[in-house]
Amino acid sequence: MEQAAAGSPKAAQASRPPRLSDYVSEWIAERRNGRGEALRPSTRRTYESYLRLHIGTAPLGRLRLDEITPEHVRAWHHGLDPAHPTGRARVYAFLRTVLATAVADELIAVNPCRIRGAGQARAVTPVEVLTPQEVADLADAIGERYGAAIHLGAWCQMRVGEVLALRRRDVDLDARLVHVRRGVTWIDGRAQFGPPKTDAGIRDISMPAAVAQVLERHLAKVGPGRDALLFVGRTPGSPPPVQTFADSVKRAARRSGLPQTFRFHHLRHAGLSLLAEAGASVAELQSRAGHSTPAMALHYQHARAVRDRELAERLSAVIDQR
């Protein structure tokens, strides 16, 4: 097999294209990220689960690449569980990406994944945009162990894996900066630290003064040494498993009167939405959030535009009362 490009399995000498399931397996084995590095263990496991559960066992997986038609893809997609729209969208997007590589490898002429919007899913859980007071109440409700994490999620717009991977060395109180250099995932019950998925995830985030004050108090309770974790679980020197932390957030949300659908990532949404309302540009939102493309930042700009129209309508009502 000849390697066409980084992460691109190419069967240059094969007289017939391989079966889809075999090609996907090779694609996963040879895939590299944008930095030319092997996939993170958590990403590899996710891709392998897509192959094992949704592609390899389906009739589609037994077809050769050149046999797959848009009709085959539609039938396969129709069989994916509609009760899990996010998972369904991710599996479809994965297959579309794999087959795009097959096009680049000249194993097929066109990509048969052509279902409009199938790679996107609306959030099943409504996103809650908290007020600053609600963020403070949530931090109080979760307690001293994780209170600072709530403020980092909201006002530094950090992902949960980024927050739980923070060390003392990653916080510069004098410059009021948080250095995001890694994240944490859990594989077979063990914490796995690694760099962000994309270069955009490596960033320095300016802290509001109030967050710097919260972190200064929190650091007084953190273990010694530059590598001491800011947030630890039951096991000394190890962060809490993401699900354990998520359960703590849910309990705190109930105690502070937030909807049962509240999740930690809603804090990031709230902070970015407020930044957009304050006039942050797409580039600024993209940089602060660590998005690799402007698409997600545009979402918050759209929210700002909707809010602007609402304000204009209120102003119209005042004008009409003349």
Known catalytic residues are 159, 265, 268, 291, 300
Distances (CA, A) of 103 to 28, 185, 210, 309: 16, 32, 51, 44
> Which two structure tokens, joined as six digits, stand for 272?
């970015």
CA distance 137 to 151: 11
CA distance 257 to 254: 5
C-alpha closest to that of 158 among 129, 182, 139:
182
C-alpha closest to that of 275 among 291, 257, 254:
291
Kindly report the number of other CB atoms within 10 A of residue 135's CB atom. Answer: 19
Q: Which residue has the tokens 């001491």?
A: 228
CA atoms within 13 A on the CB side of 138: 29
DSSP 32: B
> Which two structure tokens, joined as six digits, stand for 218?
């929190």
Q: Which residues pair with 64 in a beta bridge?
A: 19
DSSP 40: P
CA distance 159 to 175: 21
CA distance 9 to 11: 7
In sequence order, what are the residues at sequence separation of 6 or more whose Cβ sits closer than 8 angstroms to the Cβ of residue 21? 51, 55, 56, 61, 62
C-alpha closest to that of 297 among 282, 311, 308, 312:
282
